[in-house]
Structure 1
Amino acid sequence: MGGPRDQEPPVLLESNPTNQSINTSPEEIKLTFDEYIKLDNPSKGTVITPRIDKDKVVFTALKNVVTIKLNQELEDSTTYVFNFQKSIVDISEENPAENLKLVFSTGNSIDSLSISGSINFHFPASKPDYKNIVVGIYPLGDTTDVFTAPPYYLSEVDTLGNFAITNIKNGNYLAYAWRDANGTLKAESKSEEYDFLLDTLKLEKNIENVRFNLSKGDLTPIRIVRTAPFGKNFDILLNRTPVETQIENKDLGKEFFYTFSDNRIRIFPNSPKADSIPFNLNVKDSVGFVKDSLIWAKFPESERRPEKLQITANSGKSFYKDLEIELKFNKPIKSISLDSLFITYDTASIIPVRRSMMAFEDSIKMDLLKIRLSIPDSISKDIFTIKASDSTFIDIENQLNETPLSANYRKLKRESLADEIKGSILGAKPPFIVQLINSKNETVREQFLESSNDYSFKLLEAGTFKIRVIEDLNGNKRWDPSNFNQRRLAERVFYFFNAEQEQALLIRSGWTLDEQNINATDPTGIQKRAENHVDNL
C-alpha cells in the first residue's frame, strides 16, 4: 500500500525435478518461486514437448508453489521440455515469469538437437501478425499429421517471425507451420493459414534456416449440396466457390442460360419444359479438386414471382482515353433498348451507346455487359456518366429494370499521370502475374509475363502503390494455394520493397521509376546453405 509498483517478474528458486536432470520420470512437477504466484491459462499457455496428453495434466498454484500432476506414463529415454511462456504470473501485477523452461530426461542423456528458421506470409497484413503461429514436427511414420493431432515437438513463433524447436531426439520428421487461432494445436484448413515441408527432415545435427510461407488452402473437396427447381428455373448449390465452371448442353446459349453467385448456379430456360433436361457439370476448386456430374434439371410451370432485375455498375473508376464500363446483372439479359442508353458529360451533350461498343463477357451467361469507347482529347470534361432509363434492359424472365441507371467515371488528364513504373523480377523464373495495388488494396493493373522477367506499368494515376508478384508455375493466370493431400505447395507470392524495407511505392505525375526490382522471397524448405540436411525419403 502506497509503495512503488511491482515490476519484477517472479523468479524460480527451485524445481523438482531440477532443470537438466536425467534418469527421472516424475509423476508430478513442483516449481517454487520467490513470491506468491497464480496461473494464467496454463493448459494452453504451457508448451510441452514431445507430445503428451495435456487433457490429463492438472496445474495448481498455492502461495508461491506451482504443482503439475502429469497423470500419465512418460516415454523411456526421452527428453521433455516444459516451456511455461507467460502462464505463471505474480499475484500483485501479473508480471509473467521470464524465460521459464524446465528440461529433464527419462533416460541417461539430454537430447540437444534443434530446428530453427523463420515464417513468411504469401498475403501478409499491413503489419505481419505472428500471434498464435506454431511450428511443429511429427516423427516419420506417425499416423497423425497437422490436421488430425498436435505435433510431437513444437514451438511458437516470436514477434519477428523466428522459431526454434530444441531438445529433439535424432530421427526423421515431417514439419509444418500454421496459425493456431483456436488453440487446438491442429491446423484448420478452412480458416487457418498453414504450410508444410515436402521433404523429410533427417535430423542428425542441428538444422537451421528452415522457411515456411503461410497461406490458406481449404482442403474440403468441392461437392454439390443440393439441386432443385426454383420457380421456373433450376438451382445447383455447391459447398464452395469453384475457380472453373463448365456446363454442357447442346441448347446452352440458345434455350438455356445460367448465372453464378454465392456458390449457386442458376439455370434459366427461355420457356417451361415438360421433360427433364440433362446438363453435364464440371467444377474445379482452388486447391485442384474436381467434381464432374450429370444433372437432370426440371423447368416446370410456376406461379412464383420472378426476382426483380438488378444492375450493378463499376462506377467511380478513373480512365485516361478508353472508358471501360461494366454492368453486372443478377439474371441473363434478353434485350437492350439502345434508344435509352447513353453517356453524358454535360447537361446538353450525350454520346449514344452503339451496338459495336457493347459485348457480353460470356454468351451462355449474358449477365456481364462490357461497354468500351474512346473519349477524344477534344472533350475536356472530367466526369462522364452512363445513363439508362427504366425499362432499358429486359431479362430472360421478361422483367424490366425498374430503377434508372446512373454511374459516373472520371477522365484523367495526361499531365496528371505518372509516366511509368518498371523493373525486373529477380530470383525466380516466369510465368508471372504482376499486380499493381492501390492504397485501398484494390488491383488497378495486372500483367501476365509468360516468358519475361521485366514488367512495366505506364500512364498511371499518381499515388502510393504496392507491387505483388505471383510465380504462376502452371501458367493458368491465377494464384494456386497448396494442396496437402497432393503434396503440392502454394505458388510463391512476393512484393516490391523500398529502401526502408516497406512495400509503399510513391509515384507522382510526370515521374518515371525504373529499376524497381523485385526480389523473390525464399521458397518453403531449408535454404541452400543448409540443404544437406534434407533427405528425400
Structure 2
Amino acid sequence: MRLYNYIILIYIFLVIISCAKQSTPMGGPKDEDPPKLVAMIPESGSLNSKPKIIELEFDEYIKVENPNKQILITPRINKDEMEVSAVKNKVIIKLNQDLEDSTTYVFNFQKTIKDITENNVPENLKLVFSTGSQIDSLTFSGNVAYVFPQKDESMKDVLVGLYTLDDTLDILTGPPYYIGQTDSTGNFNLTNIRSGEYKAYAWHDSNNSLKAEEKLENYGFLGDTIRIFENISQAQFYLSKADLSEFKVNRASTAGTNFDIVLSKFPVEISIENEDLNKNLFFRQNEKTIRVYHKTLMNDSTAIKLNITDSVGYKIDTLIYAKFEESDRNKEKFEPSILAPKNFSKNLSLDIQFNKPLFEINYDSLIVKYDTASVIEIRKDWTYFKDSTTRTLLTIDIPIPDTIASETFTFLAADSSFTDIEGLFNEAKLESSYKRLKSEALAEDITVIINTEELPIIVQITDKQNKVIAENYLTETNQTIFKNIEPGVHFIRAIIDRNKNKRWDTSNLRNNLQSEPVYYLLNENDNNSKDTTIRAGWALEVTIQPNNPVGIQTNSIQKDRNEKINQENNVDK
C-alpha cells in the first residue's frame, strides 16, 4: 500500500512540473503571426519625457536576442549601461543613464524581439519620444553600394551613421550619434534628426561593433560637411576596404645568409636602390616581408635606399643598412610553379611564379610538346620578367604557327631548368597543358565605350571571380576594342585612374580622399545585373555609364543654399 501511495505522489509531482514548464504547444497550425504590440511606456510620440525604464507589452510571450547589439538607438547612448530583459509578454529596458535635454530619441528594435514559438518578429517596431517640447523630424536618405561586387549581392549588415562636428569619435573609433541600417538593395533613411552639421559615413558592420574595423570591413564616407536644415535625399556612398593603420618597418635583421625587412602592412609599390641591384643584390616580396639576397657580400653590410607605398598611399622613404652573414642555416628550397593555365588562340602565354629571385634559365630543358612526339623549343627572346626588379614572375610568350593542326599543347620544364640566386635548382619538373581555341569559337570584336571625358581609364574584362581576363589602358580616348575573348558570362568595367599609376586605389579617410571610381557595364534587361554574356562569333558594342558620384545629388535650391553658406563661412574666416 505504501508503494502504491508513493507512485501516486510521484505521478502528481510530474504532472505539476509539466504544467508549470513553458514550452511550445504541440499540434495545431503553425504560428505565422508576429507578436502584436499592446502597450508602450512611454508612448511613441511622447513629448517632455525622460524615462528611466521603457516597457513594451505584447499579446503573447516573447524573448529578446542580442538586444545591446541589435537595438539601434539614436542619438547615441551608452548601451553597455543598458539592461534589457523579457518577462512573459513584456520587454523591460532599464537605461541606467540620463538622457539629453530637448532631444528626440529613436529606438529601432529590428529583429531583437521574437515570439517564443516560431521566432516571428514584429515588423518596423520603433519607439520615438522627445525629452523636449517637439519631435525632430528631419531625414537623411540615399543609397550605399560596394565599389566591387560581393559574393552576397544583398546589402546585409550595412549601417549609415552621422557624427556631430564636435564629436571626438569617427567611424573607426566609435558609434555614431545617429545610426540607421540599409535595406537589401542598399537604400537607407535616417529619421528624426535634429537640424545641424554632421559628418556622414557608411560601413559593413560584420561584427556588430557599430563602427568600422579598418583592416577587415568595407567602409565609405562623404568628405564634405553635411548640413541638415531640411530633408536630405539622394546621398551616395561607396564601400571599400582601406587600412589606415600606421605603415612602418617593424623589423630589419639578418635571416640566415639573407636580410629581412618586415613591414607592418602589405606594400603595393617597392623601390630599392643599390649599385649591385640585379647584379649581385636581389630581393623578393612575400606578403609583408621583403627578403634581400646578395651573392658575394658576406660578413659585411651595404646601404639600401628603400621607398615603399601601401594601399592607401602612405609612404616609407628610408635608408637601411643590410648586413649579410655566413650561416649554417639551410637555404630555402627553390619552388617554381606555373600559374593557372589559360586557353589561347594565337600565342601561348604562360606565367611561372618563383618563391625566390630567378638567376639563370637552362633553355635546352624547356619545350612545348604536341602531336605526341613533336616539340617546340623555347627561345630566350620569348621570355621576360613582368617586373625586372624582383625577377620572381617569368612570362613566356610562345608563337604557335598556324601550320600546326594540333589543339592541345603541353609545356614542360625539366628538373634543374631554373637556378635561383642562391645556386639552388628546381627539384621537380613543371608541366602544364593548354588548349588552342579556333577563331570561330571566340568573340570577334568587343567595342567598349565609357561615357566620360575623364582619362586615363583602365578597361577590364573579368570572370565572375573578378580575375582579369583582358585589360586595355586608355590615355587619349574613351573607346577600346577587345579581340578573341572566350565566350562566357563576364564583367566589363572601367576604372578611372585619377593618379595615373595604372591600378585602382582605395580611399583615405584621413586625407579626405575618395577611392577611384569603378563603373560596371549593367544589363538593363536583367534588373541592371553586372553579368555580360559573350558569345562565339559575335561582335559586340557596349557603353558603360558612370555611377552616381560620391556625395549628395543636390537640387538647384539646395546647391545655391550650400554655396551661400560656404561664402558666409569664408567671409567669417
Change beyond 3 A, Cα 1:75–1:428: farther
1:414 and 2:426 matched: no
Which residue of structure 1 aligns with residue 264 of structure 2? 239
Cα distance per residue 1:13-62 (max 9 Å; x no partner): 22221111111111111222222222122111111110111111111222
In 1, the alpha carbon distance for the partners of 2:487 and 2:215 equals 38
Q: Which amino acid aligns with 1:303?
A: D
- Unaligned residue ranges in structure 2 (runs of 5+): 1-25
1:17 is matched with 42
> Which residue among 116, 119, 122 is the counterpart of 1:91?
116
Counterpart among 217, 239, 243 of residue 242 in structure 2: 217
Q: Report the number of matched residues.
A: 536
Amino acid at match of 1:163: F
After the TM superposition, list the runs of 4 or more consecutive aligned residues in structure 1 that deviate by more than 4 angstroms: 533-537
Contact 1:382 1:412 (8 Å CA) reproduced: yes
Range moving further from structure 2, 525-534 or 183-192: 525-534
SS in 2 for 1:415: helix
Q: 2:480 aligns with which of 455, 458, 474?
A: 455
Q: How does 1:490-529 map to 2 (within 5 A)?
A: 490-498=515-523, 499-500=525-526, 501-514=528-541, 516-529=542-555
Q: After TM superposition, list the pairs within 5 Å mapping 1:27-66 onto structure 2.
A: 27-66=52-91
Match of 2:232 in 1: 207
Query: Which residue among 365, 379, 395 is the counterpart of 1:340?
Result: 365
**Distance in 2, Cα, partners of 1:4 & 1:292:** 71
Structure 1 range deviating more: 431-440 or 278-287: 431-440
Give the SS at the match of 2:381.
helix
Structure 1 residue 292 displacement after superposition = 1.6
The answer to whether the 8 Å contact 1:232/1:272 transfers is no
Say if 2:491 and 2:520, in contact at 8 Å, map to a contact too: yes
Residue matched to 2:146? 121
2:101 paired residue number:
76
Contact 2:442–2:485 under 8 Å retained in 1: yes
1:100 maps to what in 2?
125
Relative contact order higher in (CA < 8 Å, ≥ 6 apart): 1
Distance 2:452 2:51 in 1: 52
Letter in 2 for 1:22: L
The aligned counterpart of 1:261 is 286
- Aligned residue type for 2:99: L
Partner of residue 187, structure 1: 212
Residue aligned with 1:433, SS: strand
The equivalent residue for 1:480 is 505
Determine the C-alpha separation between the residues in 2 that align with 1:361 and 1:46. 52
1:319 match: secondary structure: coil
Deviation at 1:446, TM superposition (A): 0.6
Bigger radius of gyration = 2
Return the TM-score normalized by structure 2.
0.90
> Which letter does structure 1 place at the counterpart of 2:374?
S
**1:222 CA drift (Å):** 2.0
Does 2:320 align with 1:283? no
**5+ long unaligned stretches in structure 1:** none
Q: 1:331 aligns with which of 356, 365, 370?
A: 356
Alpha-carbon separation, structure 1, partners of 2:487 and 2:500: 31
C-alpha change, 1:395 and 1:73, in structure 2 (3 Å) is same
How far apart are residue 186 of structure 1 and its match? 0.8
**Cα distance in structure 1, aligned partners of 2:352 and 2:124:** 59
Amino acid aligned to 1:431 = P
Provide the residue aligned with 2:51 in structure 1.
26
1:416-455 to structure 2, matched below 5 A, reads: 416-427=441-452, 429-455=454-480
Specify the code of the residue in structure 2 equivalent to 1:468: R
**Stretch moving more, 72-81 or 215-224:** 215-224
Is the 8 Å Cα contact of residues 154 and 185 (structure 2) preserved in structure 1? no
Distance 1:362 1:433 in 2: 19
1:154 aligns with 2:179: yes
Root-mean-square deviation (CA, aligned residues, Å) is 1.7
Give the corresponding residue for 1:471.
496
Is contact 2:138–2:195 with CA below 8 Å preserved after alignment? yes
Report deviation, 1:455: 2.5
- What's the TM-score, normalizing by structure 1? 0.96
How far residue 420 of structure 1 moved from its aligned partner, in angstroms, is: 1.3
Q: 1:476: how far off? A: 1.2
Aligned residue number for residue 130 of structure 1: 155
CA contact (8 A) 1:428 1:520 kept: no
| Cα gap change, 1:202 to 1:476, in 2 (>3 Å) | same
Instruction: Name the CA distance, whole Å, in 1 between partners of 2:49 and 2:66.
Output: 27
- Shift of the 39–488 alpha-carbon distance from structure 1 to 2, 3 Å rule, reads same
Relative to structure 1, is the Cα distance of residues 8 and 347 closer, same or farther in structure 2, using a 3 angstrom cutoff?
closer
Q: Is the alpha carbon distance of 1:335 and 1:3 closer, same or farther for their aligned partners in structure 2, counting shifts above 3 Å?
A: closer
Give the 3-state SS of the residue equivalent to 1:234 in structure 2: strand
Amino acid across the alignment from 2:121:
P
Asked if the contact 1:322/1:372 (under 8 Å) is kept, the reply is yes
2:381 is aligned with 1:381: no
Report the Cα distance in structure 2 between the residues aligned to 1:87 and 1:12, rounded to whole angstroms: 14
Question: In the alignment, is the contact (CA less than 8 A) between 1:247 and 1:281 conserved in 2?
Answer: yes
Moved more, 338-347 or 102-111: 338-347
Structure 1 residues 304-358: Cα deviation after superposition (integer angstroms, max 9, x where no partner): 2212221112352112112222222222222222222222222322222222222
Bigger proportion of residues as helix: 2
What's the secondary structure of 2:69's corresponding residue?
helix
How far has the Cα of 1:363 moved from its partner? 3.9
Q: How does 1:307-322 map to 2 (within 5 A)?
A: 307-322=332-347
Instruction: Report Cα offsets for 1:411-444 as digits up to 9, x if no partner.
Output: 2212222101113212562221111012453211
Query: 2:369·2:409 contact (CA, 8 Å) conserved in 1?
Result: yes
CA displacement at 1:127 relative to structure 2: 4.2
Report the secondary structure of 2:267's partner residue.
coil
d(CA) in 2 for partners of 1:3, 1:446: 62
What is the CA distance between 1:495 and its match in structure 2?
Answer: 0.8
Does the aligned pair in 1 maintain the 2:452–2:478 contact within 8 Å?
no
Give the partner amino acid of 2:70. G
Deviation string, structure 1 residues 56-80 (Cα, Å, up to 9, x no partner): 1111222222221111111111111
1:272–1:301 CA contact under 8 A, matched in 2: no
The yes-or-no answer on 1:390 pairing with 2:420 is no
> Is the 8 Å Cα contact of residues 278 and 297 (structure 1) preserved in structure 2?
yes
Which piece of structure 1 moves more, 39-48 or 309-318? 309-318
Shift of 1:202: 0.9
Equivalent position SS for 1:276: strand
Aligned-residue offset at 1:270: 1.0
Q: CA deviation at 1:393?
A: 1.8
Q: CA deviation at 1:171?
A: 0.6
